[in-house]
């Protein structure tokens, strides 16, 4: 029986590594054992390196390596009045709940978000679901971290190209200390051209390291309740320094 169990375990590990994309596409949350979690993390990382456009694999990597970070974020949210409100009401950044942003006046945070999404033909419903968190609370925190990503693009004034996404991962790492964010910075910068790499490390990286530390705890913000407020005002209130134009600034 011991030999059979070992064979089955090895077979399961091989299947998990080779068919990781099947695992992360399951319909419901999955409770993984330690070795299974490591296998999914490894398989997701390998798959994401082969195909960086696989958002489901990147999401699985973030979940399987990020539990301690999400637990710290959860505690910070519990220590904040606005964060507790977010945890209590559990808002979702999906089209049925954020559509009022499209009705906000010009120059508001909501209008800027609507313009950002509409100009890129993005949908807030496109995020892959969280599958590998142990509890409902942690699953919501991981979901929230994933869904506020586009809010942060708007607030920090970052493009959605490779440089902009990599710069935002620096800020996300400083806000949440998720290992996946730092891995994304390493992976993203490895794909830069020489010109892009010089621009990133001379302009975007120094700004992002400062901006991420200066900002308030952005995971404890109930963004949807600030849609009606002036964009520049919410930036000031939350200590956000938008990314300067690389053509006209020195950092």
- pLDDT, tens digit, for every residue of 158-173? 999 999 999 999 999 9
pLDDT in tens, 204-236: 999 999 999 999 999 999 999 999 999 999 999
In this predicted model, which residue has the larger pLDDT, 5 or 65? Answer: 65
**Sign of the CA dihedral running 243, 244, 247, 251:** negative
**Range of weakest confidence among 4-18, 43-57, 130-144:** 4-18
Give burial (CB, 10 Å; 0-12/13-18/19+) of 137: middle
Give the list of residues 6+ apart from residue 37 with CB closer than 8 angstroms, or none. Answer: 64, 132
Q: How far apart are CA 179 and CA 199, in angstroms?
A: 24
Is 226 labeled as ligand-binding?
no
Global confidence as pTM: 0.80
8 annotated as ligand-binding: no
Q: Where are the domains of the chain?
A: 67-238
CA 106 from chain centre, in angstroms, equals 27
φ/ψ of 154, rounded to 5, equals -65, -50
CA distances from 110 to 48, 114, 154, 191 (A): 32, 6, 10, 33
């Amino acid at each position: 029986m011991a030999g059979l169990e070992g064979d089955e375990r090895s077979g399961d590990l091989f299947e998990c590594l080779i068919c990781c994309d099947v695992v992360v596409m399951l319909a419901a949350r999955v409770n993984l054992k330690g070795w299974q979690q490591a296998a999914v993390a490894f398989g997701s990382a390998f798959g994401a390196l082969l195909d960086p456009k696989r958002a489901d694999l990147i999401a699985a990597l973030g979940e399987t390596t990020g539990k301690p970070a999400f637990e710290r974020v959860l505690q910070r949210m519990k220590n904040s009045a606005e964060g507790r409100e977010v945890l209590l009401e559990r808002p979702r950044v999906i089209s049925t709940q954020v559509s009022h942003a499209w009705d906000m006046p010009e120059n508001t945070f909501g209008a800027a978000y609507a313009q950002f999404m509409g100009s890129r033909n993005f949908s807030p419903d496109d995020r892959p679901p969280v599958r590998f968190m142990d509890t409902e609370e942690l699953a919501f925190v991981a979901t929230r971290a994933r869904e506020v990503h586009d809010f942060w693009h708007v607030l920090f004034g970052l493009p959605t190209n490779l440089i902009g996404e990599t710069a935002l991962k620096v800020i996300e790492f400083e806000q949440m200390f998720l290992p996946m964010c730092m891995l994304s910075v390493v992976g993203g910068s490895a794909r830069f051209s020489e010109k892009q790499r010089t621009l990133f490390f001379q302009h975007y990286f120094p700004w992002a390291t400062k901006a991420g530390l200066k900002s308030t705890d952005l995971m404890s913000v109930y963004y949807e309740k600030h849609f009606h407020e002036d964009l520049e005002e919410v930036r000031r209130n939350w200590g956000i320094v938008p990314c300067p134009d690389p053509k006209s600034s020195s950092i």
